Amino acid sequence: MYDNLFSPVQIGRLEIKNRVAMTAMGLNLAAAGGGVNDDAIAFYEARAKGGVGLIISGLCRVLDGAGVGEPNQLAARHSGDLQGLERLMDAVHKYGTRIFIQLHHPGREGQLMFGEQPVAASAIPHPLSGQSPRALTLPEIGKIQTAFVTGARIAQMAGADGVELHGAHGYLINSFLSPYLNRREDNYGGSLENRLRFLVEILAGIRAACGQNFPLGVRISADEFLGDQGNDLAASCRIAAALEKAGVDFLDISCTIPESPPKAALTCIEPGTFEQGWKRYMAAEIKQHVRIPLIAVANIKEPQVAEEILREGCCDLVGVARGHLADPAWCNKAKAGRAEMIRKCIGCLVCINEICHHRHIKCSVNPTTGREREFARPERNGAGRTIAVIGGGPAGLTAAMVLKDRGFHPVLFDAARRLGGTLNLADKGIGKDKITRYIDSMIAQAQESGIDLRPGEEATVAKVQALSPSGVFVACGARPFIPPVPGIDGGNVVLAEEVLLHPEEAKGDCVIIGSGMTGLETAEVVLKSGHRTTIADLLPEIGAGADMMTILDAKQRMAPYDPTYLPGHKLLRVTQEGVEFECLATGLPVRVTADTVILALGVRPQTDLVARFKAAFPDAHVLGDASRGGRVVDATQDAYGQAFVYEP
């Protein structure tokens, strides 16, 4: 079925069993201060067990101080890091998976919170933080180059199959390669040859220390989207050819730096609205200029897309990163012809958002990501005892599958005919097809597991009592919040959920109250239907609290329709003519004329329904939105944890 995907491939003299590479991701999961710990080992071992051919580790520091990229990252600084790295290599190699260590220095992406001013090729201020790095002196350049060589030698001694140097995304190596970031006037700046010098000298040092047969590669930003001010695809083809000549064995093709225009910046780690495989053209173009293997990072979620890209000859290995956060067994399921059982990444960017806030990696659709060791050994003591689960959304389905795995007999009720809960609304937004496929995969997994699924059947206390269950899990979700303001019950007021299901409910000019993801998704639907739209929120920023990149993506897609944004506006009343607000900054009234007022103010738990079941079953467990409205990740993590530790 996937003949190309599961054929072997060579990098240098190293054979890799298939063409799927789990490319590097920040995890913030390793030891405090840098180094391997049991959590990092458990994370990577789960993906190796799942059948991936090649793992490229997350950021591995070669220096402390200004060389720190994450609070908790792998490290290859000195001999003290050897033992931990060796344990990691051994854990991965048991499954026939190869692992490369990604050696990294953050450059100006380093943060003052780690104790030292960031350093870079040149003192170009960071566009987000505003902080300026210090330009490296020549002696400092030599010291850092030596650290990279030492890191490679330590990785080799630990049993790593190779190393990748991170030369993309504005990090230190990229700050030398990029003409936008490198303003030096010495031998390390100016011409392409000079800008390559820092990296080429590192490569030569690694070859001298590790030999000619140790696989060595570089991740590059193939396009910085800055025209001739930065490296475009044509310039990166020249860089790729020069790196091949310098002796690298493979290239890992990514894109962007922090200065990339906002629309292009999204292409480094795309939100779920981006098409799978869209970036393949970058690797395809570079492949015309080199003979060494290429890894394409192209927003690949599903095996049929990966197979297609390989069949086209765009690359030699496909990078599947977030897909392996969502399902560590991605490869094994695909190879077995069971792609429908793969838990699908929805592109929500919770993973990167957690890392940006210095928390460990999480995944909305896989609660065990980053907690593999904690959830390694479920107690299988269900003995066939019946558990009632009320609600078939992400929380209910997650709890039911954990309980089934533990040997219980879950009976899951849901009033809707299609399981998935409010995700069946979330997927009605534009470009949300990945959510639909995630729901499909959850339903397929639940059906295969043998759970007693009862879609279209509303749970009542009497029905649940008739089961004589040993436990009850209430995951009935939440209801949209309707604020108690004058006019809110008017005929011109509708819920965002109603508009997503029935766009014709929006008539004439629209005002959307609430700028969370539901509000923005609804706004895009009505804007594209031709309605003039105002989006208002009490909070001082549109989309406050949501992932920054997801909000940027939504606003960019809506920009051609010219919506009006009113952050920091308190809803006072709804009238037949529209809405009256108070501007919190000025205290002045603001009136917006509208034909349709759409409420997108979040949800509140169904406390009445929860209370009924708690009265009948005092020990009932309340999960997800039924307990506290929140994100998908909050619901699935809550449900998995409670079901994992449940004792009848």
Which residue is it, tokens 């009848």?
Answer: 648
The predicted pLDDT at position 263 comes to 75
In this predicted structure, the answer to whether residue 397 has a pLDDT above a threshold of 80 is yes
| Homologous superfamily of 493-601 | FAD/NAD(P)-binding domain (3.50.50.60)
pLDDT, tens only, 336-346: 999 999 999 99
Per-domain boundaries in the chain: 9-356, 386-480+606-645, 493-601
pLDDT band at residue 628 under the 50/70/90 scheme: confident
Contact partners, residue 225, CB within 8 Å, separation at least 6? 232, 255, 256, 260, 261, 264, 267
pLDDT of 112 higher than 70: no
Prediction pTM value? 0.95
So what's the pLDDT on residue 114? 65
Tell me what the mean pLDDT of segment 429-448 comes to: 94
Superfamily assignment of 9-356 in CATH?
Aldolase class I (3.20.20.70)
Helix, strand, coil abundance in the chain, percent, nearest 5: 35, 20, 45
Helix (H, G, I), strand (E, B) or coil at 230: coil
DSSP secondary-structure letter at 257?
-
Over 90: is that where the pLDDT of 142 sits?
A: yes
**Superfamily in which the 386-480+606-645 domain is placed by CATH:** NAD(P)-binding Rossmann-like Domain (3.40.50.720)
- Has residue 113 got a pLDDT over 70? no
Q: Long-range CB contacts (< 8 A, 24+ apart) of 539-547?
A: 539/515, 539/567, 539/568, 540/567, 540/568, 540/584, 541/567, 542/515, 542/567, 543/515, 543/516, 543/517, 544/515, 545/516, 546/516, 546/517, 547/271, 547/348, 547/349, 547/350, 547/352, 547/353
Residues 246-273, mean pLDDT to the nearest whole number: 90
Active site residues: 171
